[in-house]
Structure 1
Amino acid sequence: MKEWNRERVELHMLISLARSQRALCRIIESVADHVENSEQLAGHVADNLKSISDYQHALMLKLTKQSTRKRVNGKPAKPWLNKNV
């Protein structure tokens, strides 16, 4: 695939992803009033929205060729300071 064509496809996918995010925001706003009275429904909706958000995040990382960073647990190292500063 030619480079300019690939970039064009990626741009259209990112535009589509942004449109999807806006739609997701509208869904959240419209469902918020109905979920207010039911904790069980609120949990179910939150799980579904988390799944959609995770999918969109993975798609965005793939399109922008970014790798996911893994969190490292442990003791932080001593700060490194330049003696000339």
Structure 2
Amino acid sequence: MNREHVELHILISLARSQRALCRIIESVADHVESSEQLAGHIADNLKTISDYQHALMLKVTNRSKPTRVIGNVGKPAKPWINKKHL
């Protein structure tokens, strides 16, 4: 197996894991409505899992964390107004 093939399988597994997390969130949503503490605990656990998945994806694809651009990037255009709706 070459590296690209292994990376593809890992990324497919990560996507499958993300879908599983979505199913977990949907299945527990009704149960946590009545317990704010339980909702917070589950949200923290899901965030941790998601962060691990994101870190693994960055590692596998040899990409660094995206950086935010600070400051003005360009000059905004004038607002566009559709005269039909005035």
Q: In which range does the TM-score fall when normalised by the shorter chain?
A: 0.7 to 0.9
**Which residue, out of 31, 48, 54, partners 1:51?**
48
Q: 2: CA distance between counterparts of 1:12 and 1:43?
A: 32
* Residues 1-85 of structure 1 aligned to structure 2 (within 5 Å): 5-71=2-68, 76=71
Q: Which runs of 5+ in 2 are unaligned?
A: 76-86
How much identity, in percent, do the aligned residues show?
Answer: 76
Secondary structure of 2:34's partner? coil
Query: How many residues end up aligned between the 2 structures?
Result: 75
Q: Which runs of structure 1 show a deviation greater than 3 angstroms over 4 or more consecutive aligned residues?
A: 69-73, 77-80
Q: 2: CA distance between counterparts of 1:77 and 1:14?
A: 35
Q: 2: CA distance between counterparts of 1:22 and 1:78?
A: 36
CA 1:78–1:24 in structure 2 vs 1: closer, same or farther (change >3 Å)? Answer: closer
Which amino acid in structure 2 is aligned with residue 64 of structure 1?
T
Displacement of 1:50: 0.5
CA 1:6–1:77 in structure 2 vs 1: closer, same or farther (change >3 Å)? Answer: same
Q: With the length of structure 2 as denominator, give the TM-score of the two structures.
A: 0.76
CA 1:35–1:12 in structure 2 vs 1: closer, same or farther (change >3 Å)? Answer: same
CA 1:37–1:9 in structure 2 vs 1: closer, same or farther (change >3 Å)? Answer: same
Q: Which runs of 5+ in 1 are unaligned?
A: 81-85
